[in-house]
Structure 1
Amino acid sequence: MSPSDIRSRALHEPIPVAQYLFARLQQLGIRSIHGVPGDFNLTALDYIPKAGLKWVGSVNELNAAYAADGYARALGISALITTFGVGELSALNGIAGAYSEHVPLVHIVGCPSTVSQKNGMLLHHTLGNGDFNVFSSMASNVACDVARLNRPAEIADQIDHALRECWIRSRPVYLLLPTDMVEREVEGERLKQKIDLREPENDQEREDYVVDVVLRSLYEAKRAVVLVDACAIRHRVVREVREFVDKTGLPVFVTPMGKGGVNETCEQYGGVYAGTGSLPAVKDRVESSDLVLSVGSLKSDFNTAGFSYKTSVLKTVDFHSDSCKVRYSEYPGVGMKGVLKKLTERVDVGKLKREPGPEVVNEVPKPEGKAEKEEDIITHKYFWPRVGEYLKEKDVVVTETGTANFGIWETKFPANVMGVTQILWGSIGWSVGAAQGAALATKDAGDDRRTILFVGDGSFQLTAQEVTTMIRHKLRVTIFLIYNEGFTIERFIHGMEAEYNDVVRWKYTEIPEVFGAKDVRKFVIKTRDELEKLLSDKEFNDSDGLQFVEMWMPKDDAPRALKLTAKESAKTNAQLE
């Protein structure tokens, strides 16, 4: 009798490794798994339906990673399966984006058997050097946990630990699953006890001290504001922030990456703050405050309009998932969730001061009117404020790196709109996959939301194939393709007329039908009048299928914030020291 047989007999409820893994994913709320089949993961894929999960079937690994990113942002966590080497490396760009933007994603890689690895066999999908850890070593730089599932006695513990790390730290994890481990047995009885996803509690004495320090600063302040950034969303403290703002009545602003993290219809909402990229009144209000309560900040160049913040460390309290900082005093290990809850419980509203001064409440520009004799073109200055009038409660709004990411700053969201955007990583083409993933996530959750994608023609050409997956799963997606003849954000950084910023003109509205769509609604919109008619059309607004809008905009036009940020980016790129 082999040692593995002896071990299996000791198990109370023996089940295959793959069945255990997928059951755990199902317990986390995942209902669909993105990926591409390959010979090293095929046996594992057979277990997906057995766990009550759905195989998405993406067109390539990069798109699958982008889609898994969008799925996780909408549902909370996601899973992606690729094959060893060629598949996982294709997905690595998308995984890196999820890592940089704190998105919890489980990356499962089917790899050669442990016997093949031990013998250093010269297999396909390898570098031919007998090193089977080279790709997992690469992945370790963009994963918060790497688990090589090589020993049956340890696999269940490895899986549970990795999934907990993925959720708690809100970042990707990497699971390497050899072909001969897929059907090895582990203890199924463990599944009766779900993984403990509770975040580690702060040391209460340290937490109380930080709360007292913050309250002292808050009671001294006369013009305090709250600034919500990306990690408030990623690390799940949106509710805590809302309760704090509701109780204190403090003005609340968002950064570009934090858009969607605050109800923009609430009385205290002031707008999007991004340094010089902000609307003037928003900039004045935030920068004139004597205390900024910053929640989950990610102060990247595009999120701050070229590092143009004018807020002082001496007037800032930073809340993060693993630390807090009050002015120059840092408190590592004191996470923001517990601190924010306790702040709300303990704050004495009667002690809060209000110095007379301008308050900014929901200030966004009105859609720009046409000047006399002006052509009826669709400009960014007109379009993005107009989008706010088109949106509905609970919409999922996905914006691509480029004009859409910056234009959406000047769009007012109705209540409960989910903003999905990638500003720090900024991989062009990401939004098409992310829109598919977000739309599928809302469908899996039984939520009848519209998913609306705003993407430029240049970016769309990188990942257009993902429209196929939208069609395959009958997703409710409206695509606004901004036809402006190429890479506009690059034009404004450098090379307005350069050939490398041009793209070939496609017959965009024919693409869905080429990919198999039978009932897609498609439109070519070249004027404001045509756009107004479309946005006012009830059938267009209520559509529950795929819609494709090719919208013409001038190639030399861009949102105000993009122009400012591009100018700062060009300066940064040119710095010698």
Structure 2
Amino acid sequence: MSTHQRIGEFLLRRLRDIGTTHVFGVPGDYNMSFLEQIEADPDLSWVGTCNELNAAYAADGHARGGRPGVLLTTYGVGCLSALNGVAGAYCEHIPLIHLSGSPPLHATRDGLRLHHSLLDGGYRNVHRAFAEFTAYTETITPHTAVEVIDHALLTALRTRRPVRLELPSDLSHVEIAVPTTSLETVFPDGSTASEEAAAVLSEALAGARTPLLVIDLPAVRRGLMPALDAFCAARGVPYTCTVPAAHTADPDASRYLGLLPGSERAQQAFRDADLLISCDLTETDVTTAGFTLDYRSRPHVRLSADAVASGTQVFYGTDTADVLAAVLGRTAAPAPPAPNTAPPAAPSPDEPLTQRSFFDALAGFLRPDDVLVAETGTSGQNTSGLRLPHGLRYVNQTSWGSIGYALPATLGAALAAPQRRHVLCVGDGSFQVTAQELSTILRLGLTPIIVLLDNGGYTIERAIMGVRSPYNDVAAWRYTELPRAFGADEDTVLLRSCRTGAELSAAFDAASHTAGASQRFTLIQVHLDPLDMTPATAGVGEMTRVFDYGVRAPANPLG
């Protein structure tokens, strides 16, 4: 069955089919006809941001809350401004959908030299630029609109990667024949290969005395954590998560050993393992502690989205959950190891705050239903290994690591899950990259708790090189005055500046008492010494210095 509908309206219908609620972006003269259709749609909300890069970060943060992240830009200048954010979504396995208005179809076919282009008559260059950072990129035409739109959205959902569609400005109101049915997003999986792979995994487990399962971020994006936890509990297999998958496992689960690298229990289990089982593992400098963890010298069964591999045996077309289910329950589980339940230490009331005392206090402040957004740098590095409440959603751009990501991502995350409390931990250097998006957060009446670590610069970079060099310094802003500058009323914000443990405790207490209907936007400025860093930060910095610059690199005398 088919009916007739305008191309832009059909695109919006398909976005609703996959659960879209918000579209982030910046208006431009090639996308405003489509914007009129968004404005007329009662089920979709337009969120105008300060620039396209921030819109991409916000769409990324929105997608991590379980709803599709949709970004709208104009052609050329708008697209390329967003490219870094789209690339980050690709690296971090986020199904971001990038829609770009483009010049009229007749103009691009005739090679007219238009503004926002390179004035050479070519209009495939932006597609080529995005081809490396998306799973699919194509231009919508009247004859291909249905197939191209459906393929793009299904590809984003299936691959957990960004896709990109160009909608020529003169096509959004063109009427075409479209199907009346909704987009089917349930993917059939599994085959006889899953049973064959399960037999190989069972045989490997039968011959192992000390197996270990390692879970990487893509497994989390595929929703496999419950199946993996059940598998480990039934088969008595301890498991660990990589740093990109931090805070996705229940810290109290009987078989969970903590992060690898990071947790001593996990590192010892890795050294002792006579069988490694990995799920969606990508061996990077982050997941292997600078390539010091050796996955290749022992038997290793690799589970991935489309295959199971053991030595030279590769079974394609498998479904990971089906493979695990086929193995479950064949042997009794040994007694579980005791979980680590040590509570975080409280900061000393009268002592100046340090990185260590601050992050310990933050761990005690967080609640199970919170969303914690941790910026790249010391915020992400020092929160990844904390013991945090189970049920907390953790957002960090661990592998792409683009500074400035976290503030716009908080905007997107807060709109995706408005019922949850959102806490952003961000350093001053990163905050200054995208600070203007604070105005959007305030304009929309959102009430995150922003904890801003003010130590005069890039501490994560000081740990690598230039510990006292001016290139790691940033300007000293009056951060607590920014909400007022962005139009916030006095009675709608909670502003605190903290230098001691007592001041931080009071600020956290005040923030906790603004929950529910009375919750206010909160900004807590935490003053830290520019040279203060945790041993973990200093250690990673030294390792990075040697890896990046070699043994003849300039010294970086910390302390």
Task: Please classify the TM superposition score into its range, dividing by the shorter chain length.
Answer: over 0.9
Q: CA deviation at 1:428?
A: 0.4
Gaps of 5+ in 1: 1-10
Asked if 2 retains the 8 angstrom alpha-carbon contact of 1:230 and 1:257, the reply is yes
Letter in 1 for 2:522: Q
Letter in 2 for 1:461: Q
**Are the structure 2 counterparts of residues 559 and 360 from structure 1 closer, same or farther at C-alpha, using a change threshold of 3 Å?**
farther
Alignment pair present for 1:522 and 2:506: no
Alignment pair present for 1:361 and 2:344: no
Provide the residue aligned with 2:230 in structure 1.
243
**Are the structure 2 counterparts of residues 383 and 308 from structure 1 closer, same or farther at C-alpha, using a change threshold of 3 Å?**
farther
Alignment pair present for 1:137 and 2:128: yes
Please give the alpha-carbon distance, in whole angstroms, between the structure 2 residues aligned to 1:471 and 1:369. Answer: 31
1:363-402 alignment, distance < 5 Å? 366-367=344-345, 376-402=351-377
Asked if 2 retains the 8 angstrom alpha-carbon contact of 1:142 and 1:172, the reply is yes
Letter in 2 for 1:203: S
Asked if 2 retains the 8 angstrom alpha-carbon contact of 1:224 and 1:290, the reply is yes
Please give the alpha-carbon distance, in whole angstroms, between the structure 2 residues aligned to 1:563 and 1:286. Answer: 24
Asked if 2 retains the 8 angstrom alpha-carbon contact of 1:122 and 1:130, the reply is yes
Question: Please, which of 463, 485, 491 is the counterpart of residue 434 of structure 2?
Answer: 463
Q: CA deviation at 1:78?
A: 1.1
1:206-245 alignment, distance < 5 Å? 206-245=193-232
Alignment pair present for 1:341 and 2:312: no
**Are the structure 2 counterparts of residues 89 and 421 from structure 1 closer, same or farther at C-alpha, using a change threshold of 3 Å?**
same
Question: Please, which of 260, 271, 274 is the counterpart of residue 273 of structure 1?
Answer: 260
Provide the residue aligned with 2:46 in structure 1.
55
Asked if 2 retains the 8 angstrom alpha-carbon contact of 1:229 and 1:254, the reply is yes
Asked if 2 retains the 8 angstrom alpha-carbon contact of 1:15 and 1:186, the reply is yes
Question: Please, which of 308, 315, 327 is the counterpart of residue 324 of structure 1?
Answer: 308
Asked if 1 retains the 8 angstrom alpha-carbon contact of 2:67 and 2:416, the reply is no
SS at match of 1:181: coil
Please give the alpha-carbon distance, in whole angstroms, between the structure 2 residues aligned to 1:439 and 1:54. Answer: 14
Question: Please, which of 120, 138, 151 is the counterpart of residue 161 of structure 1?
Answer: 151
SS at match of 1:389: helix
Please give the alpha-carbon distance, in whole angstroms, between the structure 2 residues aligned to 1:23 and 1:134. Answer: 29
Question: Please, which of 1, 8, 14 is the counterpart of residue 24 of structure 1?
Answer: 14
Asked if 2 retains the 8 angstrom alpha-carbon contact of 1:377 and 1:528, the reply is yes
Q: Matched residues, percent identical?
A: 31
**Are the structure 2 counterparts of residues 31 and 569 from structure 1 closer, same or farther at C-alpha, using a change threshold of 3 Å?**
same
Alignment pair present for 1:482 and 2:462: no
Moved more, 532-541 or 214-223: 532-541
Please give the alpha-carbon distance, in whole angstroms, between the structure 1 residues aligned to 2:333 and 2:296. Answer: 21
Deviation sequence 1:331-390 (CA, Å, 0-9, x none) = 26344xx23333234323535567xxx9462366742765xxx97122222232332221
**Are the structure 2 counterparts of residues 260 and 366 from structure 1 closer, same or farther at C-alpha, using a change threshold of 3 Å?**
closer
Deviation sequence 1:405-441 (CA, Å, 0-9, x none) = 1101232121211111111110000111111111111
Letter in 1 for 2:499: K
Question: Please, which of 526, 533, 536 is the counterpart of residue 558 of structure 1?
Answer: 533
Asked if 2 retains the 8 angstrom alpha-carbon contact of 1:210 and 1:339, the reply is no
Give the number of the structure whose residues are more often helix, by fraction. 1
**Are the structure 2 counterparts of residues 17 and 296 from structure 1 closer, same or farther at C-alpha, using a change threshold of 3 Å?**
same
Q: CA deviation at 1:311?
A: 4.5
Please give the alpha-carbon distance, in whole angstroms, between the structure 1 residues aligned to 2:414 and 2:163. Answer: 23
1:535-574 alignment, distance < 5 Å? 535-537=508-510, 538-540=512-514, 544-574=519-549
Asked if 1 retains the 8 angstrom alpha-carbon contact of 2:305 and 2:320, the reply is no
Asked if 1 retains the 8 angstrom alpha-carbon contact of 2:99 and 2:166, the reply is yes
Please give the alpha-carbon distance, in whole angstroms, between the structure 2 residues aligned to 1:65 and 1:332. Answer: 36
Alignment pair present for 1:181 and 2:168: no
Provide the residue aligned with 1:7 in structure 2.
none
Letter in 1 for 2:429: G
Please give the alpha-carbon distance, in whole angstroms, between the structure 2 residues aligned to 1:13 and 1:155. Answer: 14
Question: Please, which of 89, 93, 108 is the counterpart of residue 99 of structure 2?
Answer: 108
**Are the structure 2 counterparts of residues 101 and 169 from structure 1 closer, same or farther at C-alpha, using a change threshold of 3 Å?**
same
Letter in 1 for 2:331: G
SS at match of 1:63: helix
Provide the residue aligned with 2:557 in structure 1.
none
The aligned length equals 547
Gaps of 5+ in 2: 553-559
Please give the alpha-carbon distance, in whole angstroms, between the structure 2 residues aligned to 1:351 and 1:254. Answer: 23
**Are the structure 2 counterparts of residues 194 and 186 from structure 1 closer, same or farther at C-alpha, using a change threshold of 3 Å?**
same
Please give the alpha-carbon distance, in whole angstroms, between the structure 2 residues aligned to 1:242 and 1:179. Answer: 49
Please give the alpha-carbon distance, in whole angstroms, between the structure 2 residues aligned to 1:291 and 1:271. Answer: 18
Q: CA deviation at 1:47?
A: 1.0
SS at match of 1:524: strand
Provide the residue aligned with 2:331 in structure 1.
350
Provide the residue aligned with 1:123 in structure 2.
114
RMSD: 2.3
SS at match of 1:314: coil
Please give the alpha-carbon distance, in whole angstroms, between the structure 1 residues aligned to 2:453 and 2:312. Answer: 46
Please give the alpha-carbon distance, in whole angstroms, between the structure 2 residues aligned to 1:239 and 1:349. Answer: 19
